[in-house]
C-alpha cells in the first residue's frame, strides 16, 4: 500500500506523483493532512509526501518506527531551501518553513528518498541522489456537465438555498461542475464543495461576453417566494438559452409564463431534494438537455419575433 499525503488534491499530485505511482501497479490511498491511518496500516507501506510534511504525519511516523518500508518526498518547487523563496509573501515563506524546510534533516535521518520535477532540482540536491519524475498529462474528464446559477447580490436567499442542493449533486456525480457568481461571502459559503467556480460579479457588457464565451449545460432559476422576487420578469430564460443550456425553474418564477415543463425547460417544486434529483437526472441525460435547449431557443425566437411585429408598447388606438 502507498499512502499519498497531500494538503488537498493538486496538480503536483495529478501531473507527477500519481502517474509514477500507478505505473507500479500498487494500490494508492490519497490522504489529506488530517487523514491519519493506524500504525498497523503502515506496516510495510510506502509514504509519499507531496511538497509538505504535516506535523501530525511526522509524529505518526516517529511512533511507527520500523513499520514503514519507504519514505519519499516529492517537490516541484524548491521547498527545502527558504532562501529560494526570497521576495515572496511572508505568509507563503512561513508555510514553506513550517511544512517543508525545517523537516529537511529529519527526512535525511530517516533515509527518505527525494523525487524532483526538474533537472535543476536534481542537480541542486545531487548529494541526495534524487529521482527525476517527469509530468504526465491528465486525461480530460469524460462528458462533463456544467451547471450554473448567475444570481446577483439581490439573490442571496437563493444562493444559500442552493448550497445543500449542489452539495448533494456534486457528491453523487463527479462529472458535474458548478459555476456561481458572487464575492467573498459566496466563496466562503461554497468553499468546502468540490468542483465549484465562483465568478466575480461583472458589469452587463462584460457579462454578455462571458455568457457567450463557453458552453454550459444546465442553468438554474430557483426563485424563492419573497416580496422582492414577485416583480421579476423572465429574462433568466434569455441568459440560459444564450449559452446553450437547459433550464431548471421554480413554479413561482416568472419564467414559467413562457416555459413549459418537459418541453423547453424543467419546472421543479422548490424542494431541495427534488432539485438535486432533477439536476442529477438532467446531468445524466445529454440528449434530453439538448432537446430542451433546442426548444428553448425556439421559444426565445418566437418571443423576439412577437416583439418585432407588435412592438414594445401597446397600441394607442
Q: What is the pLDDT of residue 316?
A: 44
Q: What is the pLDDT of residue 196?
A: 96
Ranges of residues in the chain with a pLDDT under 50 are 315-317
Q: What is the pLDDT of residue 49?
A: 98
Question: What's the pLDDT tens digit per position in 249-277?
Answer: 999 888 888 899 999 999 999 999 999 99
Q: What is the pLDDT of residue 309?
A: 58
Question: CA 290 to CA 279: how far, in whole Å?
Answer: 14
| Neighbour tally for 2: CB within 10 Å | 20
Q: What is the pLDDT of residue 212?
A: 83
- 275: Cβ contacts below 8 Å, ≥ 6 apart: 162, 165, 220, 222, 248, 268
Q: What is the pLDDT of residue 231?
A: 66
Q: What is the pLDDT of residue 317?
A: 43
Question: CA 255 to CA 82: how far, in whole Å?
Answer: 57
Helix (H) / strand (E) element for 303: namely: helix 286-310
Amino acid at each position: 500500500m502507498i499512502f499519498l499525503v497531500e494538503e488537498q488534491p493538486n496538480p503536483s499530485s495529478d501531473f507527477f506523483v500519481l502517474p509514477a505511482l500507478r505505473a507500479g501497479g500498487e494500490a494508492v490511498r490519497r490522504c489529506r493532512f488530517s487523514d491519519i491511518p493506524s500504525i498497523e496500516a503502515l506496516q510495510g507501506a510506502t509514504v509519499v509526501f507531496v511538497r509538505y510534511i504535516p506535523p501530525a504525519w511526522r509524529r505518526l511516523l516517529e511512533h511507527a518506527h520500523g513499520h514503514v518500508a519507504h519514505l519519499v518526498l516529492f517537490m516541484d518547487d524548491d521547498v527545502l531551501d527558504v532562501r529560494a523563496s526570497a521576495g515572496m509573501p511572508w505568509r507563503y515563506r512561513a508555510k514553506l518553513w513550517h511544512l517543508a524546510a525545517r523537516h529537511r534533516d529529519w527526512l535525511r535521518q530517516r533515509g527518505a528518498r527525494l523525487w524532483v520535477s526538474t533537472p535543476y532540482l536534481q542537480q541542486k540536491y545531487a548529494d541526495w541522489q534524487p529521482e527525476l519524475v517527469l509530468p504526465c498529462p491528465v486525461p480530460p474528464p469524460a462528458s462533463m456537465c456544467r451547471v450554473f446559477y448567475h444570481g446577483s447580490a439581490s439573490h442571496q436567499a437563493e444562493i444559500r438555498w442552493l448550497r445543500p442542493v449542489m452539495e448533494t449533486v456534486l457528491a453523487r456525480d463527479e462529472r458535474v461542475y458548478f459555476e456561481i457568481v458572487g464575492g467573498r461571502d459566496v466563496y466562503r459559503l461554497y468553499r468546502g464543495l468540490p468542483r465549484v467556480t465562483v465568478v466575480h460579479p461583472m458589469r452587463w457588457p462584460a457579462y454578455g461576453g462571458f455568457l457567450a464565451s463557453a458552453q454550459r449545460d444546465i442553468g438554474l432559476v430557483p426563485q424563492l417566494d419573497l416580496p422582492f422576487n414577485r416583480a421579476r420578469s423572465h429574462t433568466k430564460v434569455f441568459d440560459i438559452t444564450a449559452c446553450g443550456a437547459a433550464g431548471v425553474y421554480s413554479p413561482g418564477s416568472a419564467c414559467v409564463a413562457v416555459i413549459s415543463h418537459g418541453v423547453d425547460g424543467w419546472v421543479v417544486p422548490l424542494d431541495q431534494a427534488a432539485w438535486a434529483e432533477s439536476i442529477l437526472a438532467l446531468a445524466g441525460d445529454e440528449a434530453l438537455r439538448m432537446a430542451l435547449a433546442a426548444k428553448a431557443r425556439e421559444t426565445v425566437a418566437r418571443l423576439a419575433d412577437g416583439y418585432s411585429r407588435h412592438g414594445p408598447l401597446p397600441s394607442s388606438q
